[in-house]
Amino acid sequence: MSTTEEALKERIKELTCLYEVSSIIVNVDFEQLDETFQAISKSLKKGFQFPEQTRIFIETNNYSSPALLPGSDINLNSPILIFNKPAGHIIAYLDDNKSSFLKEEKQLLDNVALKIGTLLERKEILENEVSLKRQMERADRLSILGEITAGIAHELNTPLANILGFSELLKDELSDEHEISRDVDKIIENTIFSREVVKKLMFFACEMPQEMKQVNIVPNIKSALNLLDASFKKSKIRYELNIKDEELFLKADTIQLTQIIFNLVINAIYFSPENGLVNIEVSESKDHIILKISDEGPGFPEEAMEKVFQPFFTTKPTGEGSGLGLSVVHGIVTSHKGTITAKNRKDKGAIFTVQLPKSH
Ligand SMILES: Nc1ncnc2c1ncn2[C@@H]1O[C@H](COP(=O)(O)OP(=O)(O)O)[C@@H](O)[C@H]1O
Ligand SMILES: [Mg+2]
């Protein structure tokens, strides 16, 4: 064969390979990227001048083609980039030290690396869309719940006030020894409890009046933790407060801020093992105050993750939890135009992250 003919044959092999790689990528199943990469390696090998002596090695953040034997000195390396960031590479090794790679083969490898990069970018975009959609659905559900709850709370507020008012009048009419007097006490007690529940529901639905002030929140946070000191001691839990600065200014309702801390810390204490450490971290970014509360407890099971902010969701035994704490926190954070997330920590425990805009 003439050299031109041979060169032509190589170009055709390379083009065939590129075409094959494109088809593999078009038909990709993102759940089975391993197979895609294996198919690409196989097809790429055939595109080289000496397929028998060429070994292809693909490595990305989540995938590494199997069995990389010690590489020969003759190799080509094309980086894989995802959104311009290095995310792996393709390496071709030539196990025949009498030959060398063609410059077109480097181009072929670069081309395939580019295609893989684009494929992985598409995967990332898709994943972001899915998680965004899920977040929006969750936000929707919570806001619908918020509206329903606000309605119920509002409807119950007046009759409860009436029950309380009339029972108190009735109690005044009765002498303390009267046996009905004790029954009336029970009515009053239970009504006050119900009113507390309604109040919490109103917090969740952001129906409570707010008093927004520009304040240094550090003393607030410290005094809230001082009040919780006894609870920590009683449960034999340690805590650590990390504050980046002695002055952190925020526009907030200070009573509601205390509520956020109380609810999150009380949960952290409840779910901590004896001698566990609860960490409270307060820091700031340019526009936000960031509050992180983490513990060393069991964290959340997968199926609870979505529900923890819903009113009445609780995993505590009956009588111990109302399932309203986190929904109140969520309501307060939302009314401050902030965000809150619940996650499991890498090793053990839960972490809540609250971000509040410094001014709004
Ligand atoms: N620090 C935590 N670790 C593990 N699970 C938690 C934690 N905080 C909250 N949860 C989960 O979220 C649920 C709801 O919490 P919350 O709204 O405060 O209601 P309650 O404390 O009355 O159960 C809890 O029952 C629990 O399942
Ligand atoms: Mg709670």
Residue 43: name the closest of 29, 54, 32, 59 by CA. Answer: 54
Collect all residues with Cβ–Cβ distance below 8 Å to 114 and sequence separation of at least 6: none
In this structure, which ligand is nearest to the CA of 321?
Answer: 1
| Sign of the torsion formed by the C-alpha atoms of 285, 297, 206 and 208 | negative
Collect all residues with Cβ–Cβ distance below 8 Å to 28 and sequence separation of at least 6: 36, 119
Would the CB of 326 count as within 6 Å of ligand 1? Answer: yes
Terminal alpha carbon distance of the chain: 77
In the predicted model, is pLDDT for residue 66 greater than 80? no
Q: Name the 3-class secondary structure at 2.
A: coil
Q: Ligand 1, atom 18: nearest CA belongs to which residue? A: 325
Amino acid at residue number 82? I
Q: Which residue has the higher pLDDT, 75 or 116?
A: 116
CA 83 → CA 118, 120, 124, 306, 317, distances in Å?
8, 9, 10, 30, 48
Is the Cβ–Cβ distance between 238 and 276 less than 8 Å?
Answer: yes
pLDDT mean across residues, the chain = 91
Kindly state the average pLDDT of the residues 47-59: 92
Would the CB of 312 count as within 6 Å of ligand 1? Answer: no
From the number of C-beta atoms within 10 Å of its C-beta (0-12, 13-18, 19+), residue 338 rates as: buried
Would the CB of 244 count as within 6 Å of ligand 1? Answer: no
| DSSP type of residue 32 | G
**Distance of CA 142 from the midpoint of ligand 1 (Å):** 16
- Give 168-199 as a 3 state SS string: HHHHHHCCCCCHHHHHHHHHHHHHHHHHHHHH
The C-alpha atoms of residue 338 and residue 285 are separated, in whole angstroms, by 13
**CATH, range 213-357:** 3.30.565.10
- Four-CA torsion 81, 82, 87, 93, nearest 10 degrees: -40
Is the Cβ–Cβ distance between 279 and 293 less than 8 Å?
Answer: yes
The ligand 1 atom nearest the CA atom of 311: 17
In this structure, which ligand is nearest to the CA of 204?
Answer: 1
In this structure, which ligand is nearest to the CA of 324?
Answer: 1
Would the CB of 350 count as within 6 Å of ligand 1? Answer: yes
Q: What's the confidence (pLDDT) of residue 309?
A: 94
Would the CB of 315 count as within 6 Å of ligand 1? Answer: yes
Query: What is the band of 75 on the pLDDT scale with cuts at 50, 70, 90?
Result: confident
Q: What's the confidence (pLDDT) of residue 321?
A: 82
Would the CB of 259 count as within 6 Å of ligand 1? Answer: no
Question: pLDDT tens-digit profile of 267-313?
Answer: 999 999 999 999 999 999 999 999 999 999 999 998 898 899 998 89
Collect all residues with Cβ–Cβ distance below 8 Å to 207 and sequence separation of at least 6: 150, 153, 154
Collect all residues with Cβ–Cβ distance below 8 Å to 301 and sequence separation of at least 6: none
Mutation pick for ligand 1 pocket among 267, 279, 353 (CB with most ligand atoms within 8 Å): 267
**Distance of CA 320 from the midpoint of ligand 2 (Å):** 9
Would the CB of 81 count as within 6 Å of ligand 1? Answer: no
In the predicted model, is pLDDT for residue 329 greater than 60? yes
Would the CB of 276 count as within 6 Å of ligand 1? Answer: no
Catalogue the E-assigned strands of 2-99.
Answer: 54-60, 63-64, 75-82, 85-94
Query: What is the band of 205 on the pLDDT scale with cuts at 50, 70, 90?
Result: confident
**CATH, range 3-131:** 3.30.450.40
Kindly state the average pLDDT of the residues 305-329: 89
Question: pLDDT tens-digit profile of 83-111?
Answer: 999 999 999 999 887 888 999 999 999 99
In this structure, which ligand is nearest to the CA of 313?
Answer: 1
pTM comes to 0.66
Q: Quote helix, strand, coil % in the chain, to nearest 5.
A: 50, 20, 30
Residue 345 has which token pair? 């920590």
* Annotated domain spans of the chain: 3-131, 137-204, 213-357
Q: Ligand 1, atom 4: nearest CA belongs to which residue? A: 299
Question: pLDDT tens-digit profile of 332-341?
Answer: 999 999 999 9
